[in-house]
Chains A and B, each alone.
Chain A
Amino acid sequence: MSGTFAAFFILSLMTIGGAVFMISFTRVVHMVVSLGVTFISIAGLFILLDAEFVAVSQILVYSGAISILMLFGIMLTKHNAVEDEGSKGVNRFFAFLIVAVFFGLCFYGIQNTIWPEPAQTAPNAPSNVEQIGTEVFTKFVIPFELLSVLLLVALVGAIIMAKKESDSE
């Protein structure tokens, strides 16, 4: 059993465990914390896949910013919210059925596809961050700049939507 396999096993176990605990917990704050575990484990999976820059961004954006933002959202709405039984039994059964069918189809597809042999990476390739930087600022300049506009619009929109009511009252 190689070290990579052991790391993959532990990380995927933590990823799925965090997600399942998120579904089964009843208090909303506990759900956010267990989702934080999932986000950090996914960053570990990214490192296993030789994507160091994406892994660091994952920790910064997801387990840093989005978890805290969600906690703010919970604190600003229902302070100690407890998730009750959820939707009714019939709806829950149909949701489970849909998800199970989807899982079965995708699992069948993954198992029955002949995947290509992994390509050999060049021995003296530039580092991951260097490659991403070169590509972003040559090939993907226009999407990159559009994203900055999108972030600005989202920032302004979120502020306006969250404070509009208090002005008119």
Chain B
Amino acid sequence: MITVQLPSFLLVALILFCVGLYGALTKRNAVVVLLSIELMLNAVNINLVAFSKYGLHAAITGQIFTLFTMTVAAAEVAVGLAILIALYRNRETVNVDEMDTMK
């Protein structure tokens, strides 16, 4: 019988993180960049929960840390979108390569 082990979960999280990283590096729309960052945070959450079950010192702490990460991610999205809306009002663009006032 095949059982699911820790490396399978780590591999899924790694693929998810790489897709998110590629999106964050190549996409131009700032909303899509924020979405890719969410994808990377989710990959980290999978790792935390997987280690809280299969790790050397399996404990509930990993799940609690995941809850904290989710809260910070929600705050980050709210502030990021607020910045985006303020920027759109001033510059009429959502492309990250046109946001170069401080260059």
Contacts and interface: CB of A to CB of B under 8 A. Distances in A.
Interface of A: 1-2, 4-5, 8, 12, 15-16, 19-20, 22-23, 28, 31-32, 35, 38-39, 42, 45-46, 48-51, 53-54, 57-58, 61-62, 65-66, 69-70, 72-74, 76-78, 81, 83-84, 86-87, 91-92, 95-96, 98-99, 102-103, 106-107, 110-111, 115-116, 118-119, 121, 128, 131-132, 135-136, 140, 143, 147, 150-151, 154-155, 157-159, 161-162, 164-166
Given A49-B53, A154-B78, A28 B60 contact: no
B101 interface: no
B40 to A, nearest CB: 10
Nearest to A8: B4
A5 B22 contact: no
Majority secondary structure, A binding face: helix
30 contacts: A2-B2, A12-B8, A12-B12, A28-B32, A35-B38, A38-B39, A39-B42, A45-B46, A49-B9, A49-B53, A66-B38, A69-B77, A73-B85, A74-B31, A76-B85, A77-B84, A86-B26, A86-B28, A95-B25, A98-B25, A99-B18, A99-B21, A118-B54, A132-B60, A135-B64, A147-B71, A147-B72, A154-B75, A158-B79, A164-B86
A139 to B, nearest CB: 8
A66 B61 CA distance: 24
Given A96-B22, A157-B82, A61 B74 contact: yes
Contacts of A165: 86, 89-90
Interface size class of B (residues with CB under 8 A): 35 or more
Nearest to A165: B89
